[in-house]
Amino acid sequence: MTKESKGVKRPSSRRLHGLLKTARRRRAQAKGWRQRLRRSFYAGWVSLLVWAAEATLKKWLAVLGVFLLLWAGLFLFQQERGNPKFGLSQEIAIESAEFLPSIAGATGAPFVPGNRIDPLFNGDQFYPAILEAIGGAQHSINIEAYIFWDDPLGNRVADALIAKARGGVAIRVLVDAVGSRKMSSKMERKLEDGGCRVARFHPVWFFTIDRISNRTHREITVVDGRIGFQGGAGYAEHWTGNAQDPEHWRDTLVRIEGPAVTQLQTGFAQKWLETTGEVVSGPDYFPQIEQSGALSIQTILSEPETNSSTARILYYLSIISARKSILIANPYFIPNDEAIDILVAAKRRGVDVKIIVPGEHNDHGLLARRNSSRLYGKLLEAGVEIYEYNRTMMHQKFMVCDGVWTTVGTINFDYLSFTLNDENNVCVYDRDFAAGFEAVFRKDLEACNRIELEEWRNRGIHVKAIEAVMSIFKRMV
């Protein structure tokens, strides 16, 4: 740009400058505060338009950066709302006749009888079972996944889906836009060219930034509306194997046959409708299902419609109602003050409380582990036992109470799962089913180090400093 041209205004903004000059003159001539306010408001908008007309790309990027920082600040420092208050419900014991009607009523999720449910531990068990079910599909396969990545395992599943699509099976894959960011556009095109429908839940755009923290964290696979899989694992290579080393994660899914599969299908259908506007219906998706077993199953489909989600109500009410034991395995254990208080209260009334969390192998490193470890003190002082799993990343999410009540699925013990994310868990009231998960829990203790109170108190100033810094981001785990 020459010296002569530096002082020349852009032609596109000359008229705006004229409007601004007129607006300012009329504002100066205005009489009465109402008229001056209206003129000032008008002049302000014209000033903004002048700036926009002359702004460079660098200025626009700066404005966008400021906006994002302000939004992030509001998210990080907003007050947590919606912590449920429990009154008379504290008198209900899990083994009382009142517990199941109470938990069903409080969560709005009924118990569906006549099901078979099989726990599957680690990728060596659950991926062959899923691929077998996909291979046997006759009508439809629906997948809702927080994680579906373009890696060897993800492509293996994609190839199996494409093979069925070419055979006439209707395939729908709904992935979270953030969790499945590693599903490449190439892989998405591969699925679509192979006859599969693919949609991304809540893509991140400038105009959708207000809902960026609402993710579908669910992991649901439903075949023909008759066989369902759900649990902590999505579709990625690190879930393969048998948790034998840090490259292969520890996790748990369940396979369900029976009428309760309809609830999982409903969860998928609701998110598919929200994302695509398409209604999923008909016998290929919601067939008449005969009873397949003796278990009643409650399916929790938690959404952030209220400030206190059904995920939080499920966990809190179960803990409050426990009288003998509480076993929690959870990869992101970041309880708020209310959750700590109800766990401490459980211990003080004689409940054996044990918690397994990840140790040195943690996919969120300092952010998750140190936000968890900083909260151990009050729990340890009350006698709650906390164990860190150190063989690999422990990603399973289940809880067993009083040796009879089990819940397993995607719900983490943290702010995101209890407040913002779409989650799914299944719950079973059965002593034999609970005994199987108790045995798994105690087996996993062999790969854990127990955290002692004095060890925690003497963890070092550098660890405490890291915890203090990480606490700022506790709602982003």
Amino acid at the residue 250: R
Tell me if 38 is assigned to some domain: yes
Q: Are residues 47 and 145 in the same domain?
A: no
Q: Are residues 153 and 72 in the same domain?
A: no
pLDDT tens string 110-133: 999 999 999 999 999 999 999 999
Q: What count of residues does the chain have? A: 477
* pLDDT attached to residue 271: 96
Q: Tokens standing for 42?
A: 């008008």
CA distances from 311 to 305, 306, 473 (A): 12, 11, 21
- Phi and psi at residue 424, in whole multiples of 5°? -145, 135
For the cut 90, the answer to whether the pLDDT of residue 174 exceeds it is yes
Cα–Cα distance between 450 and 296 in angstroms, integer?
35
Tell me if 330 is assigned to some domain: yes
Cα–Cα distance between 185 and 173 in angstroms, integer?
14
- Of 70-84, 330-344, 361-375, the range with the lowest mean pLDDT is 70-84
pLDDT tens string 210-234: 566 789 999 999 999 999 999 999 9
Q: Tokens standing for 380?
A: 């340890």
Tell me if 280 is assigned to some domain: yes
Greater model confidence, 159 or 210:
159
* pLDDT attached to residue 211: 65
CATH code assigned at 415: 3.30.870.10
Burial class of residue 205 (count of CB atoms within 10 Å of its CB; 0-12, 13-18, 19+): exposed
Q: Are residues 310 and 234 in the same domain?
A: no
Q: Are residues 15 and 164 in the same domain?
A: no
Q: Are residues 270 and 362 in the same domain?
A: no
Domain count, the chain: 3
Q: Are residues 422 and 381 in the same domain?
A: yes
Tell me if 5 is assigned to some domain: no
Cα–Cα distance between 156 and 178 in angstroms, integer?
21
Q: How far is CA 292 from the centre of its chain?
A: 30
Q: Are residues 315 and 170 in the same domain?
A: no
Q: Are residues 139 and 230 in the same domain?
A: yes
Cα–Cα distance between 454 and 469 in angstroms, integer?
22
* pLDDT attached to residue 7: 44
Cα–Cα distance between 266 and 114 in angstroms, integer?
18
Q: Are residues 353 and 205 in the same domain?
A: no
Tell me if 117 is assigned to some domain: no
Q: Do 386 and 376 form a contact (C-beta atoms < 8 A)?
A: yes
Cα–Cα distance between 350 and 162 in angstroms, integer?
54
- Range of 198's domain? 123-241+259-292
Per-residue pLDDT, averaged over 288-294, amounts to: 95
Q: Are residues 411 and 272 in the same domain?
A: no
CA proximity to 317, closest of 334, 291, 298: 298
pLDDT range class, residue 209, cuts 50, 70, 90 = low
**Residue that has been written with the tokens 């926009």 in this structure:** 52
CA proximity to 229, closest of 109, 310, 126: 126
Per-residue pLDDT, averaged over 408-414, amounts to: 96
Tell me if 194 is assigned to some domain: yes
Tell me if 247 is assigned to some domain: no
pTM comes to 0.83
pLDDT tens string 40-94: 665 666 566 666 666 667 666 776 666 666 555 555 444 455 566 655 345 799 9
CA proximity to 141, closest of 125, 118, 119, 164: 164
* pLDDT attached to residue 79: 45
Strands 170-176 and 197-201: parallel
Beta-carbon count within 10 A of 397 CB: 25
Q: Are residues 225 and 181 in the same domain?
A: yes
Burial class of residue 365 (count of CB atoms within 10 Å of its CB; 0-12, 13-18, 19+): exposed
SS (H, E, C) the chain: CCHHHHCCCCHHHHHHHHHHHHHHHHHHHCCCHHHHHHHHHHHHHHHHHHHHHHCCHHHHHHHHHHHHHHHHHHHHHCCCCCCCCCCHHHHCCCCCCCHHHHHHHHHCCCEEEEEEEEEEECHHHHHHHHHHHHHCCCCEEEEEECCECCCHHHHHHHHHHHHHHHCCCEEEEEEECCCCCCCCHHHHHHHHHCCCEEEEECCCCHHHHHHCCCCECCEEEEECCCEEEEECCCECHHHCCCCCCCCCCECEEEEEECCCHHHHHHHHHHHHHHHHCCCCCCCCCCCCCCCCCCEEEEEEEECCCCCCCHHHHHHHHHHHHCCCEEEEECCCCCCCHHHHHHHHHHHHCCCEEEEEEECCCCCCHHHHHHHHHCCHHHHHHHCCEEEEECCCCECCCEEEECCCEEEEECCCCCHHHHHHCEEEEEEEECHHHHHHHHHHHHHHHHHEEECCHHHHHCCCHHHHHHHHHHHHHHHHC
Greater model confidence, 237 or 205:
237
Distance from the first to the final alpha carbon of the chain: 48
**Residue that has been written with the tokens 């991304």 in this structure:** 200
Amino acid at the residue 179: G
Q: Are residues 310 and 443 in the same domain?
A: yes
Tell me if 3 is assigned to some domain: no
pLDDT range class, residue 22, cuts 50, 70, 90 = confident
